[in-house]
Structures are given as C-alpha cells and as structure tokens.
Amino acid sequence: MKIAMIASEALPLCKTGGLADVIWSLSHELSKMGHEACIVLPFYKIIKDRPAMALRRLGSYEVRLSWRKQNADIFLWEYLGVKFYLIGNDYYFNRENLYGYDDDGERFAFFALSVQRLFPFLNLPVDVIHVHDWQAGMVPVLIKEQSLGEEVYQNTRFVMTLHNEAFKGYLDRYFLNHFFGLDDRIYESGAVRFDDMVSTLKSGIVYSDKVVAVSPSHAKELLSPGDPMRLDGVLRLRDRDFCGIVNGVDVEEFDPMNDPFLPKNYGVTSFVSGKEACRKKLCFDYELENDDAPIFGLVSRLTFQKGIDLALKVGESILRHGGKFIVLGSGEEELQRQAQRLRDAYPTRCAIYIGYNNQLAHDIYAASDFFLMPSLFEPCGIGQMIAQRYGSLPIVRAVGGLKDTVVGFNGKNADVATGFSFVDYDLGALKATVEKALTVFADGKTMRKLIHNAMKTDHSWRKSAQAYLKLY
Ligand code: GLC
C-alpha cells in the first residue's frame, strides 16, 4: 500500500512536540511491514541547515494563492526506507522557527496547495493520504473539491489524525477563495466553518474518509457534549468514521538495554543497579546531592496543557520534603521563570534545563524514580510510555491517552499497576498521589514490582500501525 503522511513536523528532521515522533515512527513501522510510506514536510531552514544531507532536487512547480505566484521546489531525502518529500519556498519556510508567525495561515495554505499538486507532479498514485492536524487539514478539501479528475487520485482515500485539537487553524472567510480558490458555498453550508471563521482543522475532519484521535479515551472525551475542544458536534456527525488509536513509542530509540546515552544499560532483571548508576551520573553532572532521596522527573513542553503549573507547585512540596526534582523543557515564559525560581531556592536538589537536550532527556527517564505528567488534557502523550520503559513510574492525571497507557496503583493491584493516577485537576489530588508514590517508594518490594510491570508493558508501534493499516 502507498501511504503519504502530510504533516508540519517529523523526526529526524524537525520537531517541536510529540507529533514529530508519531509521524516518523508510524511511517517507519509501516515501511518495515512492507508498505511504501512517505512523509511530506515543508523544507524549513532547520532542515536546510543540516550538514551533509544527501538531497535530490526533483524539480519545481508554480503554486497560485490567488494573484500571488509562488514556486514550490521539491526535494527528496531518504532515510531508513522512508522517502521524505520536502516542499521548499524560501519566502515561507526559510525562517528560524517552524511556527509562531503572523502569516502561519498563509504559510500552510501554500503547503496544502503544494501538496495538492505534488502527487500529479511526481506522477505517484497514492492509496492513502494521511493528514495530521490543522496544518494539513485543507489537503483533503482541495483534492476532493478540485483534483478528483487527476489520474493519481483515482483510488486515494483520506485519513486525518488529530494530535492537538486546541489549534483550530482559523482563517478569515475571505481566504477560502483568495488562497485556495474554493467556493464560498462550502462556507455557507457550514462544512468548513467554525466560530464564524474557516477552520482548517474542522475542514479536514469533514472532508476526510476516516478521522482518528490518538487514544480511545480521548476520542470519547472529544465526543462528549461540553468538551473544551468544542468539536463534539462535528465529530458526532462523523461518528461512524471516527475512532481512537493509541500511539506507540520508538522502542529501539528508547531501550534502556541498548541506550548509548546511559552510563550503564539495564533491563527488567538489572534495573536496580542500572538506575543507581544513572542516578549517580545525573546527580554528578547537574551538581545535585548524591543521596537516596527519590527523584521526580519532568520532560515536557512547558505549557498549560501539560499541567506544568500543578507540577511546579507539587515540585516545591517534594523539594521541601527532601526529594529531588529535575525539569527539562521549554515553553511559556512565566512557567520557565517559575521553574527557575524553584532551582534558585533548592540549588542542590533541583535542576532545570530550559530548552531541548536529548542526552538529558534519556538521563532523566533512566535516573528518575517518578515521572510527573499531570496534564490538563492529553490526546495521547509519549513521555509516560518512555518513562515506563525506563522504570520511572509515571504520576499522571487520568485523562486521554494517559488513562489508556498507565495503570494507576490503588493499593491492591500491585500485580498490574505501572504508575499512579488521579482524576481531579487540582493540587490536593496531585499531592495525595505523590504521597502515595512516596509510601510505595519506602516499601522497596512494591516499588520494584511496579517498576517491573512498567518496564514490561508493550508500548511498541506494531499494534498501533496494524490498527492504522486496518483503517486504511
Ligand atoms: C500532541 C498531543 C500529545 C500526543 C502527540 C502525538 O502533542 O498533545 O498528547 O501524544 O500530539 O500524537
């Protein structure tokens, strides 16, 4: 089967969040299963600046956004059996960051229009065009409204996966015609309209043949009346074509047994000494006291979605009671400042790294005893699955994918529990859960049992990729 992933980020080329991991891992897994998966991305500056990329220029074509004419320069890069088609245009994509510009709407309108022309240009018939999030939402609309006559699209079906429904991809109504040359009637009919704007996210949901949330629990949440994402109405209309498929993690990259970043590798039978060595190294590197106190780790974008405000507050109480707290991530300035204040108050027990650092991420997963992820909402979440593989017990809010991937300890289920969970988004509930975790920590036997369960849980992509194949 020929499958094309259309997305705004993918490892190993560009990443701001979990979307990048998913696009790469799913494509790689599908290709290992014998399918032809390719990834289509904007050719960002950060990709251009990569040293020694063996790129092939395939040619270029003109894309019209109403009176504007822009060139799409197409490059091909291959990596472990997966083809990457990169859509180049210096005006739109040769910028420092992936997003965050006033004209993001126009940049991704150009991207969607370029994708529409890409497959005819390559003369590549595709079975499935799989679009992700608002940046790619207009692709099914454009092809279904304007390009169904093209030979290459004769057998094409469209799947849309929703990774972050908080971003609706709003555009002024005027741009429907102005950018895309689409008829106003699809606005009038409501098909692409949301909040009296065009929403590229909603458009993708309406026009795709199948729609997927990244976990079954999150799919249920999205369908509930009153859900804060406010997509329940449109998703109920697509009820029969909507489901949840939980993401996996790259079990080769995140394998404590073969992880080149760790000072000592370990598995389910050797985690006590392995994690001890990792703990010593982390404490040494970040000048933290080298004692036996429990370490709480956090690796995340620092945004309200991830419950960072709660995590930092509970972090303060952990530190006050002699625990250690290590944070890696970047995001909202105020949260970054709060994190730094914690470190200033507890310099020998708390480490904060603002930014991204792969080595440190691996060190935190391996060295920590607990992994905090009290998200406000979480379509799937990846950190909690990686943490389990490294024997760091996740402390999560039972929401979305966190609910589907962590079995919370309730005092009686030590045979199956892989972490801790709580329901209400409030500091009291999180504090009580941290206390429960500390009680388990003090009782070494239960702690070891939970670590064992967590490390043995299968979070590989195989099952998820099979579920996607079935859907395709
Ligand atoms: C988004 C979601 C996260 C999910 C990821 C990949 O970043 O917030 O929950 O794991 O996409 O699907």
Nearest protein CA to atom 5 of ligand 1, as residue: 18
The HSE-up count of residue 312 (CA atoms within 13 Å, CB side) is 23
Closest atom of ligand 1 to 161 CA is 12
User: Positive or negative, the Cα torsion across 215, 221, 224, 229?
Assistant: negative
In ligand 1, the atom with minimum distance to the C-alpha of 305 is 8
Residue 226 φ/ψ region, left for φ over 0, alpha for ψ in the -120 to 50 degree band, beta for the rest: left
The predicted model gives 199-226 an average pLDDT of 98
CA-to-CA distance for 270 and 77, rounded, in angstroms? 40
Q: How far is Cα 177 from Cα 404, in angstroms, rounded to an integer? A: 42
Q: How far apart are CA 362 and CA 471, in angstroms?
A: 33
pLDDT of amino acid 67: 81
For a substitution probing ligand 1, which of 16, 132, 304, 380 has the most ligand atoms within 8 Å of its CB?
380
How far, in Å, is the centroid of ligand 1 from the Cα of 344? 31
- Please say if the pLDDT value at position 68 is more than 90: no
Q: Which ligand 1 atom sits closest to the C-alpha of 379?
A: 9
Distance 166 CA to ligand 1 centre (A): 11
Ligand 1 centre from 401 Cα, in Å? 9
pTM value is: 0.94
How many A from CA of 249 to the centre of ligand 1?
A: 12
Sign of CA dihedral 330, 451, 274, 258: negative
Of the chain, the percentage scoring pLDDT greater than 70 comes to 100
> Which residue out of 214, 375, 376, 384 has the highest number of ligand 1 atoms within 8 Å of its CB and is therefore the one to mutate?
214
Distance from Cα 327 to the centre of ligand 1, integer Å: 19
Q: Which residues contact 194 (CB under 8 A, 6 or more apart)?
A: 168, 170, 201, 202, 234
The mean pLDDT of 130-149, rounded to a whole number, is 98
| Per-residue pLDDT at 52 exceeds 90 | no
Q: What average pLDDT score do residues 25-33 get?
A: 97
* pLDDT tens digits, 372-388: 999 999 999 999 999 99
What is the whole-number distance in angstroms between the Cα of residue 273 and the centre of ligand 1? Answer: 33
Quick one: which atom of ligand 1 is closest to the CA of 21?
A: 6
Residue nearest to atom 1 of ligand 1 (CA): 163
Q: What letters, b where the CB count within 10 A reaches 16 and e where it falls short, cover 347-367?
A: eebbbbbbeeeeebbbbbbbb
For residue 66, pLDDT beyond 90: no
Q: Which of 19, 222, 249 to mutate to test the pocket of ligand 1 (most atoms within 8 A of CB)?
A: 19
Average pLDDT value for residue range 434-443:
97
Q: What is the mean pLDDT of the chain?
A: 97
Q: 110-140 as b/e, with b when 16 or more CB fall inside 10 Å?
A: bbbbbbbbbbebbeeebebbbbbbbbbbbbb
What atom in ligand 1 is closest to the CA of residue 375?
Answer: 9
Average pLDDT over residues 310-333: 96
Q: What is the mean pLDDT of residues 449-465?
A: 97
- CB of 60 closer than 8 Å to CB of 67: no
Q: For residue 92, what are its two tokens?
A: 């739109």
What pLDDT does residue 356 have? 84
Question: Whose alpha carbon is nearest atom 7 of ligand 1?
Answer: 18
pLDDT at 234: 98
Instruction: Output the ligand 1 site: residues, CB below 6 A.
Output: 17-19, 22, 163-164, 214, 247, 378-382, 401
Q: Whose CA is nearest to atom 10 of ligand 1?
A: 381
Q: What is the pLDDT of residue 278?
A: 98
How many angstroms separate the alpha carbon of residue 63 from the centre of ligand 1?
31
